[in-house]
Structure 1
Amino acid sequence: MKASPRQQRILLDLQDLDNTLARLRRKRTTLPERAELAGLSGDAADARTKFMAAQRELDTQNADLERIEADVALVQQRRDRDEQLLAASTSSKEAQALQSELETLTRRKSELEDRELELMEVQERALAAFASAEQLLAGVDARRTEIEARLTSAEQRIDRELASNAEERAGLAAELQRDILGLYEELRARIGIGAARLRGNVSEASNMALAPAELSDIRAAAPDELVFCPGTGAILVRVDEE
């Protein structure tokens, strides 16, 4: 197949751009921020578990304290009622019964208030644990937001580079003969490289020196004759003969 030296040089430029595009795509998929986010997932799950456990404990203590407070209020209401009845009673028997009940209610209220104080201390510890878990979760969320912002910024930079290089590639491809471009694309799809330089006796497609007989055959070919790397099959462009 024939291709002018200029067409062959365009092939090298096209391969350089394809290498750049491949490198940028790999860079995009292996951005360090992705690894950071993956590593953060375990911390996030742990923080979420601790937060939910602290929230459940705090809810339990709040509910227990509310029940005790309701019991205290109920006992107080009964004491207030009995005191009013006692003040209005004219019966000594009734007054004695009311006085006995008041003493019982007083003891009950004292017990409930002692329990209330204990629960308030437990609630205070639960509240502190909840605040700590909430702060931990917020910190993880803030880190995730910051990493995601950096990831988006890095992706956008690479996408701009990809778009610019893709546009340049399209321009170069349009300058190539259709059959030359088709051969290049077929080789690149099959072996991973379409064209490479021949520097001295070294093929940059295989990074190996050619045998004397192989090199002799290539040097004997006309400048517009396409030659190929014996090791890989990629198009070889003789840059040092131009």
Structure 2
Amino acid sequence: MPKAPAIDQQRLLDLQAIDTRLAQLAHRRRTLPEQVELDGLEKERRRSADMLIAARTLVSDVERLVAKAEGDVAQVRDRADRNTKRLQSGGVSAKDAAALEHELESLGRRQGVLEDEELVVMERLEQVQFAAAELTTTDSELAEQIADVTGRRDAALAAIAGEETATLARRQAIVMGIDDALVALYEKVRAPRSGVGAAMLRARRCEGCHLDLNASDISTIRSAPSDEIVFCEECGRILVRTDQSGL
């Protein structure tokens, strides 16, 4: 069985506590609520941006329809003005005057239809412009929210990084006080065991798997020298004996 001074074995508990805290910090970084909130806001803004592009495109399309409707009305109005001036000039024959009057009547009806169509597209333009304006406001609000959450996320990450730096420094100090072979064994044991390589034997229970040891295991551990490294038969972790072990 591998051996290490009992004091070094007990220092493993301090090292394990440090590694557990580092794992907690890493988990916190991966699951930051600010990051989750930020991801949701960015997704919402991408969707809003697509809608805004579509709305602005629609505004441009309707603006062209309005311009065309205005042009059609202006064309008919100009033609009617020219015919009216010809009639008022008195320089046309009776036959031409009758034709001009007939055309003026047709132009009047046509102008009425075109002006109704112009009114419809102008109302449509007002609607799509309003929708685009609302989406623009939404986009600005989302941008402000994203900036706020990004700031809070970055602050949280900075706090985590700061604590990690301090924790790693404490880890290095602890490792320097433990036998290298024992540290290597600890690292080997904890790698496949969710990062927990050493656990206290407290009141005859392994705090790694939280199972009570049977009488045979307790007897074996009780008879083992203090410098002998013992393992939990259930989870395979290093069992650290203290005055709380109940042996």
2:218 — aligned with what? 215
Separation in 1, partners of 2:50, 2:221: 68
2:154 — aligned with what? 152
SS at match of 2:65: helix
- Offset of residue 120 of structure 1: 1.9
Separation in 2, partners of 1:226, 1:109: 101
5 Å-filtered alignment, 1:1-242, equals: 1-40=2-41, 43-44=44-45, 47-48=48-49, 50-83=51-84, 85-86=86-87, 90-92=91-93, 93-192=95-194, 193-240=196-243
For structure 1, the 5+ residue unaligned runs are: none
SS at match of 2:191: helix
Separation in 1, partners of 2:92, 2:110: 25
Separation in 2, partners of 1:197, 1:219: 14
Confirm or deny: 8 A CA contact 1:227 1:236 kept in the other structure: yes
In structure 2, what residue type is equivalent to 1:153? A
Separation in 1, partners of 2:41, 2:244: 55
Separation in 2, partners of 1:229, 1:91: 118
Confirm or deny: 8 A CA contact 2:198 2:208 kept in the other structure: yes
In structure 2, what residue type is equivalent to 1:149? G
Once the two structures are superposed, residues 16-70 of structure 1 have per-residue CA deviations (whole angstroms, 9 ceiling, x without a partner) of: 1111111111111112233334544664465345434433443332221110111
Confirm or deny: 8 A CA contact 1:86 1:98 kept in the other structure: yes
Confirm or deny: 8 A CA contact 2:86 2:92 kept in the other structure: no
Give TM-score scaled by structure 1 length.
0.82
Once the two structures are superposed, residues 125-144 of structure 1 have per-residue CA deviations (whole angstroms, 9 ceiling, x without a partner) of: 22223323333344444434
Identity %: 35
Separation in 1, partners of 2:140, 2:103: 53
- Offset of residue 13 of structure 1: 0.9
Change (3 A) 1:48 1:241: closer
Confirm or deny: 8 A CA contact 1:86 1:95 kept in the other structure: yes
Separation in 2, partners of 1:114, 1:233: 86
SS at match of 2:158: helix
In structure 2, what residue type is equivalent to 1:236? L
Give TM-score scaled by structure 2 length.
0.81
Separation in 2, partners of 1:213, 1:114: 98
Separation in 1, partners of 2:28, 2:238: 27
